[in-house]
Structure 1
Amino acid sequence: MPEYKMLTATTNDAQELVLLINSAYRGEHSKKGWTTEALLIEGDRMNVASLIQMMNKPGVVIRKCITNEDVIVGCVYLETKQKELYLGLLTVSPDIQATGIGKMMLMDAEEIASKQNLAGIVIDVISLRLELIDWYIRRGFHLTDKTIPFPIEKKFGRPLQPLELVELKKYFK
């Protein structure tokens, strides 16, 4: 069984990360896993230019999960926003989803938030993704009353139906 470790990604990882993110969220390959958005949104989830721009934003770190063979099998976007850590793009290769890597990356994010003495973690999820919302709730998150319109910028893909995001939070204190 492979061992995994979490490291901070660099812009040198951008191409590999984009391939992973798109394979997990969109297209036929994404349908192997349970995190697919392929039936809700068409087009790529991410491109290299957008990812590098995100990586260079102050307060942002992208963590990567790698195998002992240095293959990236997961990643997560973390941004410190005031007293909370915003978590996005939690991605696991569709070929190995449901093996605990997502939980491991979430624990890594919680450790980072704790070291920064932040109050908690916040995430936005497509409201129709009930199985994903339930996954976060089982890990201590709760739904807030906040909803956000789905971004209609082409860089996030084209929604196949009206979509909105719901906010979930997990507080530490």
Structure 2
Amino acid sequence: MAIIPATPNDVAELVTLVNSGYRGEISKKGWTTEANMIDGQRIDAEGIIEQMTDPNALILKKINEDGQIAGCVYLQKQSDKLYLGMLTVSPLLQANGLGRQLLAAAEDYARSINYQTIAMTVITTRTELLDWYQRRGYTKTGEIIPLNITERNGILKQPLEMYKLQKNLG
């Protein structure tokens, strides 16, 4: 099915999808959970709306055969790089290639707007996720930054750091 831009009508479904992909018991059915490191929600409706109304940002959504949103990815223009975040696939649909499809769509979008580099951050202890991105050509920049979030986006169970990764699309 199609990967297309999300709209304001998708806010509630995106909130449910993203939170289920990263936090809570349902997230543990997939391999992308952060529930053992971070409590609380990953995003709320206001956060999705802020992302959607940013003129430099876009959320792409993957629709499944039932018309439901199966996955999404957030993309934001940041000077000479496109920032990729919130890559989410429903925990019940993971390991079926949807994440690869969303990543490819993000890279196609970057090329379509003449961006040659995609950047992202990944929690340093998420070795399986780091490996997944590295198999797709993303490399660590050498920069490590602390993960600082407000309670609106979760409650850290321990101090966490993130690697900065990027991929040159040239």
Normalising by the smaller structure, the TM-score range is over 0.9
Q: 1:142 aligns with which of 136, 139, 160?
A: 139
* Aligned-residue offset at 1:151: 1.6
Query: What is the TM-score with the length of structure 2 in the denominator?
Result: 0.97
Cα RMSD for the two superposed structures: 0.8
- Given candidates 56, 65, 70, the residue that maps to 1:73 is 70
Residue 169 (structure 1) aligns with: 166
Aligned equivalents of 2:163, 2:71: Cα separation in 1: 23
CA deviation after TM superposition for structure 1 residue 158, in Å = 0.5
- Quote the offset at 1:68 in angstroms: 2.8
Report matched runs for 1:77-116 at 5 Å: 77-116=74-113
Is residue 2:56 matched to residue 1:48?
Answer: no
Q: Deviations over 1:101-151 (max 9, x none)?
A: 000000000100111111211010111101000100000000011122112
1:9 to 3, 6, 11: 6
Letter in structure 1 aligned against 2:28: K
Provide closer, same or farther for how the CA distance between residues 67 and 152 of structure 1 changes in structure 2, counting only shifts above 3 A.
closer
- AA aligned to 1:98 is A
Please give the alpha-carbon distance, in whole angstroms, between the structure 2 residues aligned to 1:102 and 1:152.
24
1: CA distance, partners of 2:7 / 2:61 = 9
How high is the TM-score relative to the length of structure 1?
0.96
The total of aligned residue pairs comes to: 170
Once the two structures are superposed, what CA deviation does each residue of 1:25-59 show, in whole Å capped at 9, x if it has no partner?
00000000000000000000010011101111121
Match of 2:129 in 1: 132
Q: Which runs of 5+ in 1 are unaligned?
A: none
Aligned equivalent of 1:31, options 3, 28, 34: 28
Q: CA deviation at 1:84?
A: 1.3
Say which SS state the counterpart of residue 84 (structure 2) adopts: strand
- Cα deviation 1:139-167 (Å, max 9, x = unaligned): 00000111221123111101101101111
Is 1:156 the counterpart of 2:153 in the alignment? yes
For the residue of structure 2 that corresponds to 1:167, the secondary structure is strand
Moved more, 52-61 or 134-143: 52-61
Which amino acid counterpart does residue 17 of structure 2 have in structure 1?
Answer: L
Separation (CA, whole Å) in 2 of partners of 1:156 and 1:126:
15
Supply the distance in 1 between the matched residues of 2:37 and 2:90 (Cα, whole angstroms).
19
Structure 2: which 5+ runs fail to align? none
1:69 Cα offset (Å): 2.5
